[in-house]
Amino acid sequence: MLTLYHWEPNANSGKPMLALAEKGVDYESRYLDLLKFDQHQPEYLKINADGTIPAMVHGDLVLTESTPMMEYVDEAFDGPPLRPASSAERWRMRWWMRFFDAYFGPSLSMIGWSVFVGPSARNRDPAELRAAIDRIPLESRRIAWRKALFNEFSEAELAESRRRIAFATGILEQHLARHPWIAGETFSLGDINGFNLGFALPMSQPQACNDEKTPHIMEWLRRIYERPATKQTWAKGRTPIAQRVTMLERKPA
């Protein structure tokens, strides 16, 4: 019995969703609406006391942390391997996953929370919002929500995130000019990870990621978008967040 608690196919939730689809593994999907704070409700806190998504339940085991969760999916289930056979490619896959999770992802997330999550969840009674923030278990998430809901990200921290995004897209473009995939010659969890962070980059960061400046990133995103597992996974989205993926449709020649 496999159950996945997730939000939209996007960022962290989309990583196990797409890995499971690539493996061809069925699961029970439990959709939590992040903007309605479903992830802080008592019923879900019994599954993941941190109140973050995704979480996966396989038998008696509760798994959190989307990147190691994808490695578990690849090891525990049949289906095409999603980690390269060679040690060198595995190292390169993990190098990039660490970079995505520790450096690129948090910067994209800060911009996303400031321009999208905050404004989308803000139109409620401030007292109700403060009570919702007080129920968040992790201090780091309480801080992120407070800044997003009350528009408190400083210009200095947003500028630093923009600088990091420009740097990250620059080195990713250089890498993909030399190799078709993140690990090198083999499609892997690294591509699933990067796609989830970056599928909307041409819309959210058009100055950093576009056909002229980063043609190899654009081609890589389009190749992943065209995979049947990606189409199947993004069809599970319920909001315009997931629908942004269609911007990767190739224009008729």
Ligand X SMILES: N[C@@H](CCC(=O)N[C@@H](CS)C(=O)NCC(=O)O)C(=O)O
Q: Does 193 bind ligand X (CB under 6 A)?
A: no
Closest to 171 in 3D by CA, of 108, 103, 83, 226: 103
Closest to 190 in 3D by CA, of 200, 179, 201: 179
Cβ distance to ligand X smaller for residue 52 or 114: 52
Q: Please, what is the minimum distance in Å from the beta carbon of residue 178 to ligand X?
A: 28
Sign, CA dihedral 198-199-202-205, equals negative
Q: What backbone phi and psi angles, to 5 degrees, belong to 178?
A: -100, -25
Cβ distance to ligand X smaller for residue 216 or 236: 236
Q: Does 34 bind ligand X (CB under 6 A)?
A: yes
Q: Does 189 bind ligand X (CB under 6 A)?
A: no
Based on its alpha-carbon atoms, the radius of gyration of the chain, rounded to whole angstroms, reads 18
Cβ distance to ligand X smaller for residue 11 or 218: 11
Helix (H, G, I), strand (E, B) or coil at 176: helix
Q: Does 11 bind ligand X (CB under 6 A)?
A: yes
Cβ distance to ligand X smaller for residue 34 or 192: 34
Structure tokens at 40: 């802080």
Q: Does 39 bind ligand X (CB under 6 A)?
A: yes
Binding ligand X by CB under 6 A: which of 6, 12, 189, 244? 12
**Total site size for ligand X, rule CB under 6 A:** 14
Coarse DSSP helix, strand, coil percentages of the chain, rounded to the nearest 5 percent: 60, 5, 35
Tell me the window of 46-54, 119-127, 154-162, 172-180 that interacts with ligand X (CB under 6 A).
46-54
Cβ distance to ligand X smaller for residue 65 or 157: 65
Binding ligand X by CB under 6 A: which of 18, 27, 44, 52? 52
If 0-12 CB within 10 Å is exposed, 13-18 middle and 19+ buried, where does residue 38 land?
Answer: middle
Under the rule (CB under 6 A), what is the footprint of ligand X?
Answer: 11-12, 34, 39, 51-54, 65-67, 136, 141, 144
